[in-house]
């Protein structure tokens, strides 16, 4: 199985309490399927990092200040899914922290609010993608859901981020953020909208090495 075209893979991440790590990624490709020259991994990287910092630190993203953004990396990925060149990286120093501090909005490391990337089609491959945003600062109601306003703010902020990333890459055949599938010959579709639900999700790999500390014990009498 192969991707339909070579593309850029933009990843970004940082730390959660207890030195646990988080990471998200977005893929970008030329709609024409154009190939990438050596050095493409650095094109637009600094501007993309600035856009990601602005998103991560916005109140609309709703990310807890307990989460940090520490790096942004961009790599050229071949149709076989491997790096074509060494990735470019921006180390963010000092780290940026999330802006939201909703009262009572402290969740465990593995809890995420998912932004679903839609492509305007409801059938076939590469219909939708997902990014698991880190540590949402929000409260859960008695119905088990977060406020619709929080979900809408995140959807708006991720849609704006994707628009900014698309705008950074201009030229004869501008790159756009896409959803890709490796089934068959591969399918690539541009992201057209973002959807966020009102139920929090779990990303288990973000709680893999946190020490449990001193275990409490109680004798049975």
Q: Which pLDDT belongs to residue 144?
A: 95
Cα atoms in the Cβ-side hemisphere of radius 13 Å centred on 134: 29
Does residue 94 have a cis peptide bond before it, meaning omega lies within 30 degrees of 0? yes
Structure tokens at 100: 């939201």
Q: Residue 68 has what pLDDT? A: 97
Greater model confidence, 37 or 97: 97
Rounded-to-integer distance, Cα 119 and Cα 191, Å: 5
Count of other CB atoms within 10 angstroms of residue 201: 14
Which residues, 6+ apart, have CB-to-CB distance to 181 below 8 Å? 125, 126, 187, 188
Asked if residue 79 lies in contact with residue 7, where contact means CB atoms within 8 angstroms, the answer is no
The three-state secondary structure class of 159 is helix
pLDDT in tens, 13-25: 999 999 999 999 9
Q: Say which residue, 48 or 175, is predicted with more confidence.
A: 48
Reported as a single tens digit per residue, the pLDDT across 194-207 is 999 999 999 988 88
Contacts of 143 (CB under 8 A, 6+ apart): none
pTM value?
0.91
What confidence tier does 32 reach under pLDDT thresholds 50, 70, 90? low
Name, in order, each residue with C-beta under 8 angstroms of 102's C-beta and a sequence gap of 6 or more.
62, 137, 138, 139, 150
> What 3-state class would DSSP assign to 65?
coil
């Amino acid at each position: 199985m192969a991707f339909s075209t070579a593309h850029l893979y933009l990843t970004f991440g940082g730390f959660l309490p207890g030195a646990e790590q988080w990471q998200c990624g977005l893929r970008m490709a030329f709609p024409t399927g154009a190939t990438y020259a050596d050095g493409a991994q650095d094109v637009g990287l600094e501007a993309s990092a600035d856009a990601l910092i602005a998103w991560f630190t916005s109140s609309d993203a709703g990310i807890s200040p307990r989460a940090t953004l520490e790096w942004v990396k961009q790599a050229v990925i071949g149709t076989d899914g491997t790096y074509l060149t060494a990735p470019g990286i921006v180390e963010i120093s000092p780290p940026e922290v999330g802006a939201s501090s909703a009262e009572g909005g402290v969740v465990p490391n593995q809890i995420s609010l998912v932004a679903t990337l839609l492509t305007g089609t409801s059938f076939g491959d590469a219909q939708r993608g997902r990014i698991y945003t880190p540590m949402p600062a929000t409260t859960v109601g008695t119905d088990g859901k977060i406020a619709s306003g929080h979900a809408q703010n995140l959807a708006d902020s991720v849609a704006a981020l994707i628009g900014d990333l698309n705008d950074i890459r201009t030229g004869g055949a501008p790159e756009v953020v896409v959803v890709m599938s490796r089934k068959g010959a591969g399918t690539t579709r541009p992201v057209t909208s973002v959807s966020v639900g009102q139920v929090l999700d779990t990303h288990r790999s973000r709680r893999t090495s946190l020490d449990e500390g001193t275990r409490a014990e109680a004798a049975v009498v």
